[in-house]
Structures are given as C-alpha cells and as structure tokens.
Structure 1
Amino acid sequence: MSELSATYVVADEYGGPEVLVLREEQLPGPGAGQVRLRVRAAGVNPVDLKIRSGGRGGDTPFRLGFEVAGVVDAVGPDVTRVAPGDEVIAFRVSGGYASALIVPAKDVVPKPASLPWSEAAGLLLAGATAVHALEATGVGAGDVVLLHGAAGAVGQAVIQLARLRGASVIGTASERNHELLRDLGATPITYGEGLQERVLAAGRPTAAIDAAGTDEALATSLALVEHDRIATVVVTPQAAEAGIKRLGGAPGADPGTALRDAARPELARLAGEGALKVRVVRELPLAEVAEAHRFVAENHAAGKVVLIP
C-alpha cells in the first residue's frame, strides 16, 4: 500500500495562536484496526485552545483536533466495517487538523449523504457532550432545563436534543443571540444582575446544565435546582467545591467515554434527517488555523468554526 502525503498542524511549544504551524509528512498504509482518511473538514473547539495554551499540560510537540469528516482512503487488513471511498465522520481522533490522518476504525461512523462536510465535522464533540449532559441530569419529557451558555455549539445541541426528549429549555445568552435561541425552540434570557428572577419568570427549572462556567451560572443553578440534577461541562474549582456533576476531560470530571461513543451513530442519524442542526459560522483554510483560534477566542462564535484542508 502506497504512502500518502499529508499536511498537518503542530505546535512545538505552548502559547498563543502563533505557535501553530504547518508541516508535511508521509502517511503509511493503515495497520490492523485502522483506516486512513482524506480529511474534508476538521472541527475547531474551545478545548483545542486550552490545550494549545498549556491548560491541559502534556508533552510537546503536540497536534490538535478531535473531530473530522472525510473519505476513507485505505483500510487495515482486518477492517470490514468501512471501505475505501466511504464518507465518514471520525471522533474522537488525535491530530485532526490535517489533510489526511490514520484513525482507529472503531472511531468512524458513516456520514449521511445529506450532511455537508463542515456540519459533519462540527457534529460529534458538541453533540456527544450534550448527550452526556442530558443523561447526567436525567432530562426527559416535561422537564424544564436551565441552560447557561446556550448560544455556543454545545448549548445549541442541548436545546435541540432536550426538545426531542420532550423537555423545554430556558437559555442564557447575549441579547444578540436571542433570536437564534428562539429559532431552536428555547426561551432566551439575558445573563447578568437579576438572572434568578428572570429565570423564574420564564419557568421553574427542574434541571440545570452549565456550558458557561461562570460564578453566576453556578450560583443560579444551585439556588433553583436540586444538586443531583445540575451538571457542568466547564469544570471550575467552584463547581468541584459545590459538588455538582462535572463532565468532560478535565481532572476529576466524568469523561463519559462509553456513553459518548455510543451516542455517535444516533447523532449522525439525527443530523442527516435534519432533526439536529449544526450551525457553522466560519470556514477557514487549514493554513489559517491561527486565525481560527483567534476567532473562537475573541468572537464568542455562536456555532462551529471549521478548517478546510
């Protein structure tokens, strides 16, 4: 099996967006249990910025990118579930900011033909996080979910998936994003002084999901919702001290690996049917990865930023 030339993003040290550089490599054929992908789009996520700045520790040099969508270029000798030419979504991968990469075959799911590449690349990290949060808080029919940071990619997925479960959502966001939340089916409210009163005016929450990580979000959730029905995906020392459910890859948090992995095929199905929408707010070439990180950091993108190799 011939090698494949690939461009990838790497950082030799921790720091700002300027540490991200492009390099070239020759990818060998995939080994047992692996597939080689030609990447069509790669999702950029806030956790990538934390890793780049050193917030998660680890060795250098390092690569970034947990989710991609692409075409299978080659498969390992024992792989039968996918074949060359198949369009797939891959998550959770390592080093997804690339034009091609090798991933475990178990981490790919079929991409619905109706789902654009950029939306597919932005689907699974936020979607799986939303499923984890909804499961952790036991959200079902008749619940009222208080959602902090509702306009981000995770928040948008929470709104849509909660409504599919028969729940309603009260979401905090800047006023400029209120129409977006209404379009998704949530009741928007502005964060800031008087938040608790505004929440109660919109409805009595029975569960709370924090995708903002602010002191205000934590205090309001604790005041209005039982502890065992509060979860945060932005883990802070204050959240740990309060004893609420902490989800994700941060130290001390529940990664929910099995649950998130199991959610992938259903998320792809829902997105393919249009029942779960991924809002892509910006597409940038792989060579402009530094600008992608600046945009995510500075503009509070109400949706996904995607790199196109």
Structure 2
Amino acid sequence: MIDGYGGPEVLRLAEVPEPAPGPAQVRIRVHTAGVNPVDVKQRGGYFSAIAQAQFPLRLGNEYAGVVDQLGDGVEGIAVGDEVLGSATGQCYADWVVIEAADTVAKPASMGWDVAGGIATVGQTAYTALKQIGGVKDGDTLLVHAAAGGVGTMAVQIARLWGATVIGTASERNHDYLRSLGAIPVAYGPGLVERVRKIAPQGLDAALDAIGGDATAASLELVAGLDRIGTTIDTEGAEKYGFHRVGGRTTPGLRQVVEWYRTGAVTIPSVTVYPLDHVAAAHRHVEAGHTQGKVVLQVR
C-alpha cells in the first residue's frame, strides 16, 4: 500500500482483513501480479489532478491465482481453478475478489510468471490495435517502445493480422524485436529518417506506448490521425486529435490467452520480484527500457 504519493520508498506491506466474495464473485488466492507503468504513475501522483486518491491505497491491476471461495450464484467456475485477469488497484495482495464472469482460465502450459503479466498488456495491445483501424494484412505499423510489455504483445498481434511491423527500441533490444517478428529501429534523433529508409512507401498506422518524441514522429510519418494511437500521451491526443487507446476487454483477453496456448504469441522476457521487493520492481519499471514484463511473486 501507499499512504501518500512519492517515490518507490512509499510502498509498504500491510495486514488487512481477508476479503469475502459477494454474489456472482469469486475470491482468488494470488500467485503473481503484474507491475505496469500506470502503477508507477499512480504511486507518483500523475493522476492526482484528475482524481485525488483515498489513502491508504493499494496498487496493481492484473493478477493470476487460484479460486479459493465462491460467492452465491457462481456457475461454471470451481474452487481450485487456475485463473487470471484484471482488477483495478487491488492486485498487490494475497487475495483479490473478482466478478466471476471477468476471470479467464489459465492454460496449464502457461507459467505463473507469464500469467501474472499478460492481462494488462494483452488487453491493451488487442484493444489499441482495433482502435486505430484494426491493423490488417498489408499494413505497415510503427510501434514505439516495442520491447516493452504492450509493445511485445502489439508486435505479435499485428504480425498475426498480417501487418509489417517496425519497432523502436534501444540497440540492446533489437535482437529481441527480431525474435518477435518486428523490424527494429533505434529511437532518438533521426528516427523519422530511419523509418523512412525502412518503409519508403510510408506507414499506415502507429501505436505509441512511451510518449514524448514519439508523438511528433507518428504525426510526421502517418497521414491519417485516425490511424495513430497512444496508450500514454493524453495531452498529445487531445491537442492533435489522434486516439488515446487501450482499455479492457475480457473477450479480447480470452483471445490473447488462446493465442498463447497455441503458441501464436508469447511473453519471452519476464522479470520476477518477491512481493516484499515491490519498491525494486517499481524502480525497474520507472527506469524505462524494460524488456517484456515485470511481475511480483506473491505466493
């Protein structure tokens, strides 16, 4: 939990009453919980101008674990089922209570590390690509921060849908991007020119998961504002008129999990921290240049 905004040092462990599921809900014993850039921003007060938090505040928006209690009226799910999914601001914990209909079955082939980190990036990438025109066969897509969690999934989903993908990343992550099927390009000064050399015919769409200079590059490289999306640059989206993208979709997450089960997508890089090292996990994400996902081991 946190008792106020600040750096990673404000995170603390706390003992709280065990939750109980209500009607149509299940309680899940959490094994792993993902750490995402939005958690870091919330901890630091990035959203305080929009809505002041009620402290003490728990963080964490994705989980994987085992169902251990059922609320009244729950059907189609049983105690002992392994599940994953999303839950706003409660997943850095031993238990979470979730609407039963929003849980997604964890494939037996999926490790707990991946399961705890796939919900947010899977849903965000799937939804974002739909929101910028449904990337399709023959499109050329630019993904900013392609080696991060959302980028990792966006590259693979876009490739499944037939697009050519160019991904920005630091040089040390270029082999990683190639393994996902993307054409890597270094970000920083000269990005527009480097992309034009790779795709002289132009780009059809761009997805930004980093903000900053990515906005200017996307606007210069993509003709239609309806084919540009950002998961993070709200100010730029409002100023220039392109899409602020992302969001949750349980059917979309089920599709991503099914793709994982069949080997069509993966998260090849996951860094795991124990729950009591949550501050170190936040520092890792906050430093940027994360490859794949960062996950907390709760149990």
| TM-score, length-scaled by structure 1 | 0.90
Deviates more, 1:95-104 or 1:116-125: 95-104
**One-letter identity of the residue aligned with 1:88:** V
**Residue ranges of structure 2 left out of the alignment (5+ in a row):** none
| CA deviation vs aligned residue, 1:63-108 (integer Å, no higher than 9, x gap) | 0011000000011121012110000002134310012222221221
Q: Is 1:118–1:280's contact at 8 Å kept on the other side of the alignment?
A: no
Could you tell me how far 1:16 is from its partner in structure 2? 1.0
Shift of the 299–227 alpha-carbon distance from structure 1 to 2, 3 Å rule, reads closer
Shift of the 299–145 alpha-carbon distance from structure 1 to 2, 3 Å rule, reads closer
Q: Is 1:40–1:71's contact at 8 Å kept on the other side of the alignment?
A: yes
Secondary structure of the corresponding residue to residue 21 of structure 1? coil
**One-letter identity of the residue aligned with 1:218:** T
Deviates more, 1:104-113 or 1:23-32: 23-32
Q: Which residue in 2 is equivalent to 1:35?
A: 26
**Residue 106 of structure 2 is aligned to residue 111 of structure 1:** yes
Q: Is 2:113–2:270's contact at 8 Å kept on the other side of the alignment?
A: no
Tell me which of 270, 273, 297 is aligned to 2:286: 297
> What are the equivalent positions in structure 2 for 1:273-288 lying under 5 Å apart?
273-288=262-277
Q: Which residue in 2 is equivalent to 1:56?
A: 47
Secondary structure of the corresponding residue to residue 177 of structure 2? helix
Q: Is 1:43–1:307's contact at 8 Å kept on the other side of the alignment?
A: yes
Q: Which residue in 2 is equivalent to 1:69?
A: 64
Secondary structure of the corresponding residue to residue 289 of structure 1? helix
Q: Which residue in 2 is equivalent to 1:251?
A: none
Could you tell me how far 1:142 is from its partner in structure 2? 0.6
Aligned residues: 290
Could you tell me how far 1:261 is from its partner in structure 2? 2.8
Q: Which residue in 2 is equivalent to 1:208?
A: 206
**Residue 244 of structure 2 is aligned to residue 246 of structure 1:** yes
* 4+ residue runs over 3 A deviation: none
- Distance of 2:219 and 2:271 partners within structure 1: 35
> What are the equivalent positions in structure 2 for 1:1-309 lying under 5 Å apart?
10-57=1-48, 58-138=53-133, 139-203=135-199, 204-215=202-213, 217-225=214-222, 226-248=224-246, 256-257=247-248, 260-298=249-287, 300-309=289-298
RMSD: 1.4
- Distance of 1:308 and 1:79 partners within structure 2: 28
**One-letter identity of the residue aligned with 2:47:** R
Deviates more, 1:99-108 or 1:160-169: 99-108
- Distance of 1:122 and 1:28 partners within structure 2: 23
- Distance of 1:52 and 1:218 partners within structure 2: 25
Q: Is 1:205–1:224's contact at 8 Å kept on the other side of the alignment?
A: yes
Shift of the 125–28 alpha-carbon distance from structure 1 to 2, 3 Å rule, reads closer
- Distance of 2:16 and 2:191 partners within structure 1: 52
**Residue ranges of structure 1 left out of the alignment (5+ in a row):** 1-9, 249-255
| CA deviation vs aligned residue, 1:230-250 (integer Å, no higher than 9, x gap) | 1111124233211111124xx
Shift of the 285–197 alpha-carbon distance from structure 1 to 2, 3 Å rule, reads same
Q: Is 1:146–1:169's contact at 8 Å kept on the other side of the alignment?
A: yes
